[in-house]
Amino acid sequence: AYNAGTGVIPEFRGQRLVQQMYEWAEGLWRAAGFTDLSLEVIVENEKAIKAYQRVGFDVVRRLVAYKFSSSQESVQSELLKEVPVPDWSAYAELQPFQFSWDYGQAGIMAISEDYRFYEWYEGMYLTGYAIVHTGGRIGQAGCRDNAVKQWKQLIGALQQQYSNLSWINIDSKAVEVIQALQENDWEPIIEQFEMFRSL
């Protein structure tokens, strides 16, 4: 079960409502067959982190986010070809890190009509791919060699097609991806912790 967002309005804070919500929902989740829970929380939100820790969540990794904006007119990239159906087995070999739930295969396919799927071939070999939400948010991307130079090519091709892009929930250990984004003039926007617990 993925927590896409939790909030408590100010006048009700301090009453451990997060704990009460989870206690209420856990039975429903178990009955529905869920075995694990995950969420992301902003690194600076110490109160929320403590609230989630009180209900059994642990921080499993740090995630970063970047954005890109340009005033240039968008043009079709010659590097990328849009495909109607994603090749998940081929993409799995190119993934630079494990994507958070909302950008994993299940999360993307739940709203697949809102995504565009791009592939980059060199000869017969899939060199890279990108899955981009119609609003310009990258859901997934991967490069065969996971090299900064290759990432810069892929990101540059996306920048040709979209004047505004963002990529959130990038594993902070994906140094090649982050370096390529920075060298392509992307700006950092937020850092989050991914938290996890078993039911």
Look at residue 76 in the predicted model and tell me its pLDDT: 83
pTM of the model: 0.91
Specify the residue for token string 């071939």.
121
- Short-list 185, 189, 188, 191, CA closest to 69: 185
Whether the pLDDT of residue 75 is over 90: the answer is no
Query: Mean pLDDT over residues 92-115, rounded?
Result: 96
Whether the pLDDT of residue 129 is over 90: the answer is yes
Runs of H (alpha helix) within 81-128: 88-92, 105-110
Tokens of 185: 């003039």
Burial class (CB in 10 A: 0-12, 13-18, 19+), 152: middle
Whether the pLDDT of residue 119 is over 90: the answer is yes
Whether the pLDDT of residue 74 is over 90: the answer is no
The answer to whether 198 touches 36, Cβ cutoff 8 Å, is yes
Instruction: Using pLDDT thresholds of 50, 70 and 90, give the confidence band for residue 71.
Output: confident
What 3-state class would DSSP assign to 70?
coil
Look at residue 190 in the predicted model and tell me its pLDDT: 96
Look at residue 127 in the predicted model and tell me its pLDDT: 98
Whether the pLDDT of residue 69 is over 90: the answer is yes
Average pLDDT, the chain: 95
